[in-house]
Amino acid sequence: MTYKEKQINLCWTPFGYSYSVPLSLGYLKSNLTDNGFKNVKVMDLNQDFWVKNSDELEKDQNLFEQRYQSLLQNVTNWNNPENYYEKIHSIGAVKDLIDEYSDTLLENNPSIIGFCIFNTNIWFTLEVCTALKIKRPDVKLMIGGPEATASYYDPTHKLKEMIQSGVVDVLVFGEGDITVGDVCDTILKEEYDYENIDGIFYLDKEGKVANTKWRNFIPNLDDVPIPDYSDIKFDLYKQPEIPIVLSRGCNYSCIYCGVKLYWKNAANFRKRTSDNLMEEVKYLDSVGYLPRGQFNFLSFKGAYVNTDVTRKAETESGKSILEEFCEKIIDHFGGPYPEVPFLWGGWARVDDNLTPELCKKMYDAGCHHLTFGFESGSARINKEMRKGYKFREYDNEYAATVFRNCMEAGIQAVLFIIVGYPTETKEDFQETMDFLEENKQWIDAVYCMSTFILSKEMMSDEGKGKMSKFAIRSAIGGGGDIDMKLMEEKPKYLAGDGIHPHAIEWESETSTYEERLERLEIFKEWAEKNDKISTSPRVDDWVNPNDGTTMD
Ligand code: B12
Ligand code: SF4
């Protein structure tokens, strides 16, 4: 057996949503296969978990459902280790799952097992890794994914401890498409020259946790092979939402947004061409993932779909990539929706490039809804957030026109708002509510899950120096475990350090936590009264499998 024939397993562990398809692993598999690795298997144990428990989950009164489903709604149960151990690990079934899944992962005798971690499955994954190392110490374990990348910024992150203790062999941060091949190569050749591979943490020859430099982002996304889902049985997912990533990174840098952790700065924003995107649509169609006559859903991912705000021609045709892509979809399927055999949704920015003509074309290409980061009806707060409206000052008339264009074309406009952004006054909040009331005919639904959460992303180095001057007097972590008395001796504004991830109960000069909760209540009452609670996408035969959360 050559080293390229050795078995590599790539895995998603519970707990994620039941409809999520493992896009990242599809990317890694196609990259590894392109590099000559012969035996790469994608194993979605998160999906296995939902399938195995589907009978139980359908019984309303079932304790299992109550426990898992409600725990899943609240991400702080999963990304906060104390909550995880207290509320989740204590459920006996979880211990059995760890044992079962570590056995499943070893069944085909792998040499390497790779895990993709998010903030929701990190603690469970680390437990599976520990069980694996006890059962088969010779199998190398590598970890990548968004939470692995986020851990790059935290020197005391638990993941570093796991490398130190020898449970995790390699941690990959940043874009993993090329790194994964390099790591598998060096392990399977038994060379272990980790120091020559960009974008990883590992245990160096002195037994210390070391890292190499951040890997350069792939300049041309069309060079990345499209995801390989050949190990995935789409029909087993509850209402699968198939993601197609239009772009990576974002060309803006809103202060509160976590995107910069993963993609650094706006200069790393890249888009795929419409031809390359069509290749993926055709692949999904050819392997039967887009069944005709049955409701199916694609989710156009990336920062947002209408990224062509520079207004420079992006293509030879002089049109935006989005417009070209829509035209090619309609063309390929022989006419406008319903000839197009799927619906799609995506995130969008409030931008007047969403003209009536473009909206119509998007609708014809299957666009069902757009989810806007509207955030606030206050122009001042939009500025505070550095939303970066480039071509004109933000104003509410401008936003209303964009939503009207969508709704008139038949596309549902779903809005996200932020309640209680730092410096938001009662009057600013009222401006948001006034906007919603005045424009409700152009809005299908509005979504806001909680009051504003100070995140470690927001306070990361990438945001340093740009932070608005809001005085935070104290902050308590989302898990309720850290009490921070920050401000007296610290500078007037915060950046970089001191804030516990996901602090929700903070207090500033313009609001207390209780005041923000009151604002949230006002919003919720309005949303209920006007039937604007986000249950998007609203399709008659669609049952949102994750009631209480939003599909994006
Ligand atoms: C597309 C997307 C999805 C898709 C696909 C997910 C996927 N990655 O496969 C879907 C809809 C399924 C999804 C689901 C979720 N997502 Co999501 N998603 C995104 C989004 C919009 C784009 C990511 C992207 O471009 N992916 C493309 C590939 C190239 O990037 P990638 O997935 O990170 O994978 C690369 C590297 O991380 C690495 N890698 C990944 N896994 C592994 C494994 C190994 C072994 C190695 C070596 C490398 C490696 O290599 C990959 C290729 O370069 C980002 C936000 C953003 N704009 O970036 C959020 C984001 C990644 N999602 C996030 C979250 C939290 C989730 C959910 C938990 C739901 C939720 N609460 O929002 C679920 C988890 C999945 C599940 N089991 O249910 C967070 C992650 C935060 C964190 N620190 O964990 C993000 C950053 C959004 C945010 N700020 O909240 N998501
Ligand atoms: S909020 Fe949206 S536009 Fe702003 S940086 Fe994040 S992804 Fe980009």
Residue 395 has pLDDT above 60, yes or no: yes
Average pLDDT over residues 492-499: 36
Ligand 2 pocket mutation pick from 252, 264, 458 by most atoms within 8 angstroms of CB: 252
For position 198, what pLDDT does the model report? 98
Distance 387 CA to ligand 2 centre (A): 8
For position 354, what pLDDT does the model report? 92
pLDDT higher at 192 or 294: 192
Q: How confident is the model over 357-391, as pLDDT tens digits?
A: 999 999 999 999 999 999 999 988 988 888 876 55
Least confident of 347-351, 410-414, 536-540, 545-549: 545-549
Ligand 1 pocket mutation pick from 49, 116, 215 by most atoms within 8 angstroms of CB: 116
Q: For residue 348, which ligand has an atom nearest its CA?
A: 2
Atom of ligand 1 nearest to the CA of 180: 47
* CA 429, 433, 434, 440 torsion-angle sign: positive
Structure tokens at 63: 């304790």
Domains parsed from the chain with CATH numbers: 3-211 (3.40.50.280), 241-451+528-547 (3.80.30.20)
Q: How confident is the model at residue 29 (pLDDT cuts 50, 70, 90)?
A: very high
Q: What is the pTM of this model?
A: 0.89
Q: Which residues pair with 248 in a beta bridge?
A: 270
Q: Evaluate whether 39 touches 6 at the Cβ level (below 8 Å).
A: yes
First to last CA, the chain: 45
User: Residue 401, class by beta-carbon neighbours within 10 Å (0-12 exposed, 13-18 middle, 19+ buried)?
Assistant: middle
For position 167, what pLDDT does the model report? 95
Average pLDDT over residues 123-135: 92
For position 162, what pLDDT does the model report? 92
Helix (H, G, I), strand (E, B) or coil at 281: helix
Residue nearest to atom 3 of ligand 2 (CA): 252
Residue 405 has pLDDT above 50, yes or no: yes
Least confident of 55-59, 83-87, 140-144, 161-165: 55-59
pLDDT higher at 78 or 49: 49
For position 85, what pLDDT does the model report? 63
pLDDT higher at 292 or 248: 248
Q: How confident is the model over 513-523, as pLDDT tens digits?
A: 889 999 999 99
For position 61, what pLDDT does the model report? 38
For position 539, what pLDDT does the model report? 43
Distance 252 CA to ligand 2 centre (A): 6
Give residue 259's Cα distance to chain centre: 9
For position 307, what pLDDT does the model report? 85
Least confident of 150-159, 324-333, 497-506: 497-506
* CA–CA dist 160, 180 (Å, integer): 19
Atom of ligand 1 nearest to the CA of 250: 57
Q: Quick check: CB of 260 below 6 Å from ligand 2?
A: no
Residue 510 has pLDDT above 70, yes or no: yes
Average pLDDT over the chain, rounded to an integer: 82
Q: For residue 254, which ligand has an atom nearest its CA?
A: 2
Q: For residue 32, which ligand has an atom nearest its CA?
A: 1
Residue 134 has pLDDT above 60, yes or no: yes
* CA–CA dist 490, 496 (Å, integer): 12
Q: What is the per-residue burial (b if ≥16 Cβ within 10 Å, else e) of 197-229?
A: bbbbbbbeeeeebebbeebebeeebeebbbbbb
User: Residue 286, class by beta-carbon neighbours within 10 Å (0-12 exposed, 13-18 middle, 19+ buried)?
Assistant: exposed
* CA–CA dist 397, 417 (Å, integer): 17
In degrees and rounded to multiples of 5, residue 364 shows phi and psi of: -60, -30
For position 84, what pLDDT does the model report? 64
Q: Evaluate whether 281 touches 274 at the Cβ level (below 8 Å).
A: no
Distance 373 CA to ligand 2 centre (A): 8
Atom of ligand 1 nearest to the CA of 20: 12
Q: Quick check: CB of 349 below 6 Å from ligand 2?
A: yes
Residue nearest to atom 7 of ligand 2 (CA): 303
Ligand 1 pocket mutation pick from 12, 15, 24, 502 by most atoms within 8 angstroms of CB: 24
Q: How confident is the model at residue 108 (pLDDT cuts 50, 70, 90)?
A: very high
Q: How confident is the model at residue 476 (pLDDT cuts 50, 70, 90)?
A: very low
Structure tokens at 512: 């207390």
Least confident of 157-166, 180-189, 453-462: 453-462
Q: Quick check: CB of 177 below 6 Å from ligand 1?
A: yes
For position 64, what pLDDT does the model report? 47
Q: For residue 197, which ligand has an atom nearest its CA?
A: 1
Residue 112's nearest CA partner among 48, 28, 49 is: 28
Q: Where are the alpha helices (DSSP H) in 88-216?
A: 92-106, 122-135, 146-150, 158-164, 177-188
Q: How confident is the model at residue 51 (pLDDT cuts 50, 70, 90)?
A: confident
Ligand 2 pocket mutation pick from 256, 259, 374, 466 by most atoms within 8 angstroms of CB: 259
Q: Which residues pair with 44 in a beta bridge?
A: 12
For position 269, what pLDDT does the model report? 93
Residue nearest to atom 84 of ligand 1 (CA): 118
